[in-house]
Amino acid sequence: MSDVLVLDRAKTRAALDPHRVMDAVAHALIAVSRGETSAPPRVAARAPGGLLGVMPGYVPGLGLAAKLVSVFADPVHAGRGTHRGIVALFDPEDGRPLALLDAESLTAVRTAAAATHSARALAVPRPGRVAVLGSGAQARAQLTLLALLDPTTPVAVAGRDARRVGEAAALHPAAVSAPSAEAAVRGADVVFCCTGAVRPVISRSWLAPGAHVSSVGGSHGPEVDTGTVRDAALFAEWPGARAAEPPAGAHELQDLPGERTVTLLGSVLSGDHPGRRDGTGLTLFKSTGHAALDVAAAHVAHAVAVSAGWGTVVDL
């Protein structure tokens, strides 16, 4: 017999305490950079409408988990995608299943946390303006986290649907809708790309000197243009962002010249790498997602839910 805690979407979201997720994600990123985790490159089964990815991982001090996530085109809204699935958390000592969690809300929060860590570690001190590209679940998660951690820095939000952009911008007290991606990006010190794009949504010519770009989208194609990749200092969650083929690796980091380096974000967070070298160079954090981050967020959600008495316990 094994009692497994099941959290629906609302309870999973409520249990993802943002401050605790930020701390856990930093722990996981540092562990990845030091080779302390066990997380094979994700694999995917492809169906006519999308793919089903599998991401197992172990992080010392946080636990053992696996995510099943489907990435499909939205049949109702052309050009948009969906990320749905479950995360299963296990006891790392005896292998007992502990919890089943909603993957969509968990992925959005842990991804926003990693992107925010990249901005804090790699952007110029005291950014004057932020841009968020996208109006879907990931952009909303990013804006919600920014509103909690930094509610006063101005934010410009851009996307294809003006109504959805306005709804997303309303999540941050200092955010406004921008008429275009270019208008949002020009003059911004930090740019969060949170789209389902299959082609680049930014241009190198739009970026201000010293800008930091955090790209978390692009599951089906490059979200960042080649000029930005060429000119920026590159950072990622794990070595496979460059070495592995998509969907495990990043589209933007394939076929880089041999002399180009991709630094792990965890090594910057730990102080093992200095990160930004000067105030005028570009930095790019290219996220592919990593199972260690799912473990981190699942660890937090499970602990919070158990403490609060949330969820349904089933025998599995």
Q: Using pLDDT thresholds of 50, 70 and 90, give the confidence band for residue 248.
A: confident
Condensed to tens digits (0 to 9), the pLDDT of residues 260-285 reads 999 999 999 999 999 998 889 999 99
pLDDT digits (tens, 9 = 90+) for 96-123: 999 999 999 999 999 999 999 999 999 9
pLDDT value, residue 81: 66
Which 3-state string (H, E, C) describes the chain? CCEEEECCHHHHHHHCCHHHHHHHHHHHHHHHHCCCCECCCCEEEEECCEEEEEEEEEECCCEEEEEEEEEEECCCCCCCEEEEEEEEEECCCCCCEEEEEEHHHHHHHHHHHHHHHHHHHHCCCCCCCEEEECCCHHHHHHHHHHHHHCCCCCEEEECCCHHHHHHHHCCCCCEEECCCHHHHHCCCCEEEECCCCCCCCCCHHHCCCCCEEEECCCCCCCCCCHHHHHHCEEEECCCHHHHCCCCCCCHHHCCCCCCCCEEEHHHHHCCCCCCCCCCCCCEEEECCCCHHHHHHHHHHHHHHHHHHCCCEEEEC
pLDDT band (50, 70, 90) for residue 76: low
Q: Answer with the residue of higher pLDDT: 151 or 72.
A: 151
d(CA 20, CA 305): 13
Return contacts of 90-97, CB within 8 angstroms, 24+ apart: 90/63, 90/64, 90/65, 90/66, 91/63, 91/64, 92/58, 92/63, 92/64, 95/64, 96/2, 97/2, 97/4, 97/316
Which pLDDT score, from 0 to 100, does residue 1 have? 58
pLDDT, tens digit, for every residue of 281-313?
Answer: 999 999 999 999 999 999 999 999 999 999 999
| Helices 291-308 and 103-122, packing angle to 10 deg | 120
Mean pLDDT on 2-17: 96
Average pLDDT over residues 51-80: 87
What is the pLDDT, as a whole number, of residue 42?
A: 84
pLDDT of residue 80: 65
CATH superfamily name and code, 3-106+291-315: ornithine cyclodeaminase, domain 1 (3.30.1780.10)
**Domain boundaries along the sequence of the chain:** 3-106+291-315, 110-286
* pLDDT of 242 strictly over 80: yes
- Summarised one tens digit per residue, pLDDT across range 201-237 is 999 999 999 999 999 997 789 999 999 999 999 999 9
Residue 85's CB is within 10 A of a number of other CB atoms, namely 20
- Kindly tell me the burial class for residue 134, based on how many C-beta atoms sit within 10 Å of its own C-beta (0-12, 13-18, 19 or more): buried
CATH architecture of 110-286: 3-Layer(aba) Sandwich (3.40)
Q: How confident is the model at residue 127 (pLDDT cuts 50, 70, 90)?
A: very high
Tokens 């968020």 belong to 132
Beta-bridge partner residues of 187: none
Q: State how far Cα 265 lies from the chain centre.
A: 12
Instruction: Provide the 10 A C-beta neighbour count for residue 297.
Output: 32
pLDDT of residue 45: 92
Whole-angstrom Cα distance, residue 251 to residue 259?
Answer: 18
Q: What is the pLDDT of residue 37?
A: 98
Q: Check residue 73 and give its pLDDT.
A: 77
**Region 56-73: what's the mean pLDDT?**
94
Residue with tokens 């394939």: 254
What pLDDT, on a 0 to 100 scale, did the predictor assign at position 79? Answer: 59
What's the confidence (pLDDT) of residue 219? 75
Least confidently predicted of 60-64, 187-191, 217-221: 217-221
The pLDDT assigned to 61 comes to: 97
Q: Note the pLDDT tens digit of each residue in 11-43.
A: 999 999 999 999 999 999 999 999 999 999 888
Residue 259 has pLDDT above 70, yes or no: yes
